[in-house]
Amino acid sequence: MNDKKICFIMCVNNEMYVEECLHYINRLVIPDGYKIDVISIKEAKSMTEGYNAAMVATDAKYKIYMHQDVFLVKLDFIQDMLDVFSNPEVGMIGMVGAEKLSKDGCMWNGDRVGRIYSSNIVSTQLFIASDKQNKPYTEVEAVDGLFIATQYDIKWREDIFDGWDFYDVSQSEEFHRAGYKVVVPYMDIPWCLHDDGILNLEDYDKYRKRFLNEYKGEIIL
């Protein structure tokens, strides 16, 4: 394992998004002694399948799993990330998270912390999930999958979440199971911009039920 390497991992199906995403990655300030890599997974059957394939394909200690429509606008965020990971108890970082999940298991229905820039065809605006920010981070139950950074490898639950929903909340719980903290860092400005696009929630409820069946006895509601 190379502890001086950061790998950006994306499941992709839109070359225009990928080019824009790479434009921002290539502008990042890389701390001295570190190097970066990018793995783009095409034609993945699920987010978990793609992420598992990429996880074993790189020797980078630090992995950033991100949507192809996420653009890293805070150019020096890598040092901020490494500062949070200097605590070996922290396993996972997200940009938006929930300290507790709602009873239905949906992260976005509960109280959240974090901040991002949110973009759509009309405008770009600052989304602040909550005014609450703890330094250096806030511990949460789960984070949103638009951006997930890890410093340990735990297999994504491809056996249960074979689609595109609840893989992120599931992975948050897997890190809790392994004894690690899942956190949202303090941010003076957001690290990234997310192009919201159009949501496909066709299978959302199916995977929500699978999530509750697997983790209901463990999650904080």
Q: Please say whether the beta carbons of 9 and 39 come within 8 A.
A: yes
- Report pLDDT digits (tens) over 181-208: 999 999 999 999 998 765 666 788 999 9
Across the chain, mean pLDDT equals 91
pLDDT number for residue 119: 77
The hierarchical CATH code for the domain 2-215 is 3.90.550.10
- Banded pLDDT at 117 (limits 50, 70, 90): very high
- Banded pLDDT at 55 (limits 50, 70, 90): very high
pLDDT number for residue 221: 58
Average pLDDT over residues 42-71: 96
H helices present in 9-166, as ranges: 15-25, 47-57, 77-85
The torsion angle over the Cα atoms of residues 39, 40, 42 and 44, rounded to 10 degrees, is 60
- Report pLDDT digits (tens) over 24-35: 999 999 999 999
- Banded pLDDT at 103 (limits 50, 70, 90): confident
- Report pLDDT digits (tens) over 34-50: 999 999 999 999 999 99
Query: Lowest-pLDDT range, 109-113, 161-165, 173-177, 185-189?
Result: 109-113
- Report pLDDT digits (tens) over 67-77: 999 999 999 99
- The residues spanned by each domain of the chain are 2-215
Residue 122 has pLDDT above 60, yes or no: no
Share of the chain above pLDDT 90, in %: 76
Residue 179 backbone class (left: φ over 0; alpha: ψ -120 to 50; beta: rest): left
Burial class from Cβ neighbours inside 10 Å (0-12, 13-18, 19+) for residue 16 reads exposed
Residue with tokens 């790998």: 7
Report the half-sphere exposure of 157 (CA within 13 A, side-chain side). Answer: 19
